Chains A and B, each alone.
Chain A
Amino acid sequence: MARIIDFGSLAVAYATRLLAESGHDVIRIDLSGGDALRRMGPFLGDNPHLEHGAYHQFLNAGKRSLSLNVESPAGRRIFTELLQKSDALVASRPLPLAEEELRNIRPQLVFTKVEEEEAELCAYARSGLLSLTGQPDGQPTVLGSHMIYLATGIYVAVGTSAALYVLNQTGQGQTVCVSMKDCLETFIEQAMVEYAFSGTKTERRGSRGTITAISGALPCKDGHWVISQINRPGRWEKFMDWVQDPELMADPSLALDENQNKKKDFIMDRIFVWARKFTKTDLVEEAQRRHFPASPVSSPLDLVEDPQLIARGFLKEMNHPKFGRILFPQGAIASVRGNSLSPAPTLGQHNREILAELGYSEPDHRTLTEIGAI
């Protein structure tokens, strides 16, 4: 288990959360007064308070909080002492000391330096991803839930983990550089390959798929469902056994890939007409019984009650000091490792504990609080 300092915004916060999910001791250095992450809505209980932000509560779970005024001399000293006892520093905020000083203080440090983009929408437009998202005839749209920061954060976690592995094997520390711009561009890979090899220009398709002909979300009686399948020999006939659409069945040539692709909008429109009288559950259960990849389209609220997330312990009941008994998303790595995270810390919740670990006494703690260092 490594000790890791979290000194960053959204992408870094998700990277260090993944490290916490994996069992590491993560200390988030909170700015005195609380940072932007704690001020991001939505807010739990609709209360716009530093301890109620949903992003704070999810991303900082499993971490300890040290609220530090890194600008003050005493704050800098504590930062330095903490660094001496840490394995990794993951940062996207300006550091209180120069980069070379980090190595002097702690030669074996894994220092992950992350360039996070401040203007999310602009970063998304520049990456090429915006051209792949939204209604074909309407405004292109950024992915919701600020997820492009979290996606970048996984790369940050991967790079940090690789460097920690090297540290563990060889005792060698190093600097890991990650830029959100480069990370986002890797996600256009699929479109890049098709364009580079044959000039195909991938465009946005609303809620329909771009890879295979029968793929996308369609409205049904109580919401939307998704059907998405690869065409294999015999699949079309089996699909028609189920759908029984006379117009589709009138054209047996649709069993062929290339014909499906030519008429993909027509096929999806016919499936829509057939499916709209059924519920999500009816459609998805019957499709799965017949081995067609289908699923419901879920809202965040739908997911709270999802039997699969609950059965596997991804959603686990937590007795939260502020919100009582709630179903808490543990995260994909915690779920695999069977770990449960502690609730996100209140601002400076672990000041006393961490200072004690650094050798400060109780009177020291009082003095540091009085002079505003913590």
Chain B
Amino acid sequence: MNPTPPLNGIKVLDFTHVLAGPFCTRLLADFGADVVRVESTRHPDYPWPSSYIHADGRHASYLNTNRSKRSVAIDLKHEAGRAIALRLATAADLVVENFSAGVMSRLGLGYETLKALNPRLIYVGMSGYGNTGPRRDWTSMNMNLQGYGGLMLTTGAEKDPPIAISNSWNDYIGGLHACFGIIEALAQRETTGSGAHLDLSQFECSVSLIAPLVLSSAVNKSSPKRLGNRSARYAPQGVYRCDGRDEWCAISIQNDEQWRALTAAMGNPELGSEARFANVCERMRHHDEIDRRIEAWTSQLPNTEVEKRLRSAGIPAERMRRIQDIVDAPDRSKAFARAEEPRVGSMLTTTLPLSLSFSPSAPFRPAPKLGEHTQEVLKDWLGIPDSELVELNERGALV
């Protein structure tokens, strides 16, 4: 038996836009699914506005997020276009969309309609708040979910303002949860023979990641303290300023032996034998003072030197890497790889950061031009003859 990617042969009709949905369907494509994006010249889509835009209108963000997919251009507001979309949905295993609540129904492509045509269909909605509940019509962006989902007020220390992360964290978290739910639904379909409607809420995905603290608040009737860079188990722990502009090193002392090694590395071995720093409880009590002493030492040295000295002494320490440090590093991570992209020769792209010993992942393919695969997919999936394609084109259904 020749090993194939796990989702080989699974047909995905992808109505998603921006990032969470397209990220999810890229994961499915890497697992070998045949992902067909339904696109339109009327609403050119990109996951985020990039600083590089190719002559064909594709943003760098699109090239990375929508690689390994095919594109069909259909006018969903055109009657014949909508009819084609319905036929594609009838042939599909999966429909994924992340419109606001109700949009797919207004296009005549709601779950009930498609289910009647294709009872084995798995239909996935990934709107901001889900298609039910009092917030179903709220629109949301990543930053909204960072604030509303609790990330901003669980990050940082007590009295800090809300703290965000400068990336679309929640889109990735929502997309990953959706991908998991989809593969599970495909497996369950093997047993039950019927499809499913997954009405995912990206808000709930975000809240899930801080749910232990929500649970604690529900029982204790107060939010737990914000710890910043400190730990409830180890001390000292922190991100310390080093020599240079905005240079930092993270240090986490996980036992008494490491504490003594740290004080020796700092040239203050006498601190290591002081009773008031002798164990983790004492060090937590005097954390502010310890931080000042550590920083008096680190601020004299480049962070590479702090990291080197501490690690050779067996202490967990890592300098703060910037994006360029990760991307330009000679031993670059397995998270990124080069992929062929004819628009620019080749590009660095995100990989699936996991490996299966038997099932390969699918090879990278360049992101599609808008409508590049319309004819090909209509033939592959539906067996539509050339003559009908010409006619559809003339009627303006394919745009």
Contact A139 B354 (CB under 8 A): no
Contact B147 A297 (CB under 8 A): yes
Q: Which A residue sits closest to B176, measured CB to CB? A: A154
B7 located at the interface, meaning its Cβ lies under 8 Å from any Cβ of chain A in the complex: yes
Contact A130 B177 (CB under 8 A): no
Pick the interface stretch among A25-33, A64-72, A323-331, A353-361: A323-331
- Contact residues of B between 99 and 119, Cβ < 8 Å to A: none
- Contact residues of A between 143 and 187, Cβ < 8 Å to B: 143-145, 147, 150-151, 154-159, 161-166, 168-170, 172-179, 181-183, 185-187
A105 located at the interface, meaning its Cβ lies under 8 Å from any Cβ of chain B in the complex: no
Partner of B210, one of A129, A147, A230, A291: A147
Name the A residues within 8 Å of B232 (CB-CB): 40-41
Contact B168 A143 (CB under 8 A): no
B193 located at the interface, meaning its Cβ lies under 8 Å from any Cβ of chain A in the complex: no
A34 located at the interface, meaning its Cβ lies under 8 Å from any Cβ of chain B in the complex: no
Partner of A159, one of B168, B351, B354: B354
Contact B321 A131 (CB under 8 A): yes
Contact B333 A181 (CB under 8 A): yes
B135 located at the interface, meaning its Cβ lies under 8 Å from any Cβ of chain A in the complex: yes
- Contact residues of B between 128 and 154, Cβ < 8 Å to A: 129-130, 132-135, 137-154
- Contact residues of A between 164 and 212, Cβ < 8 Å to B: 164-166, 168-170, 172-179, 181-183, 185-198, 200-212
* Most chain B CB inside 10 Å of its own CB: which residue of A126, A312, A315: A312
Shortest distance between the CB of B66 and any CB in chain A (Å)? 12
- Contact residues of A between 99 and 149, Cβ < 8 Å to B: 118-135, 139-145, 147
Closest 7 A-B residue pairs measured CB to CB? A144-B154, A185-B335, A182-B353, A125-B250, A226-B147, A119-B316, A174-B358
Tell me the dominant secondary structure on chain B's binding face: mixed
Name the B residues within 8 Å of A197 (CB-CB): 50-52, 60, 344, 347
Contact A151 B7 (CB under 8 A): no
Q: Please report A residues at the B interface, Cβ cutoff 8 Å.
A: 18, 22-23, 40-46, 54-55, 57-59, 118-135, 139-145, 147, 150-151, 154-159, 161-166, 168-170, 172-179, 181-183, 185-198, 200-212, 215-217, 219, 224-226, 228-230, 257, 288, 291-301, 303-304, 307-309, 311-312, 314-315, 323, 326-329, 331-333, 335-337
Contact B181 A169 (CB under 8 A): no
Contact B162 A308 (CB under 8 A): no
Contact A189 B167 (CB under 8 A): yes
Contact B52 A198 (CB under 8 A): yes
Q: How far is the CA of A162 from the CA of B61 in the complex (A)?
A: 26
Contact A177 B354 (CB under 8 A): yes
Q: How far is the CA of A141 from the CA of B154 in the complex (A)?
A: 11
Q: Which A residue sits closest to B213, measured CB to CB? A: A300
Contact B354 A165 (CB under 8 A): no
Pick the interface stretch among B194-202, B273-281, B379-387: B194-202
B90 located at the interface, meaning its Cβ lies under 8 Å from any Cβ of chain A in the complex: no
Name the B residues within 8 Å of A134 (CB-CB): 156, 163
B393 located at the interface, meaning its Cβ lies under 8 Å from any Cβ of chain A in the complex: no
Partner of A189, one of B64, B145, B173, B190: B64
Contact B218 A304 (CB under 8 A): yes
Name the B residues within 8 Å of A157 (CB-CB): 180
Q: How far is the CA of A323 from the CA of B60 in the complex (A)?
A: 51
Contact B322 A297 (CB under 8 A): no
Name the A residues within 8 Å of B146 (CB-CB): 226
Q: Which B residue sits closest to A195, measured CB to CB? A: B323
Name the B residues within 8 Å of A118 (CB-CB): 254, 316
Name the B residues within 8 Å of A59 (CB-CB): 212
Q: Which A residue sits closest to B221, measured CB to CB? A: A301
B15 located at the interface, meaning its Cβ lies under 8 Å from any Cβ of chain A in the complex: no
Pick the interface stretch among B74-82, B264-272, B324-332: B324-332
B243 located at the interface, meaning its Cβ lies under 8 Å from any Cβ of chain A in the complex: no
Q: How far is the CA of A179 from the CA of B351 in the complex (A)?
A: 13
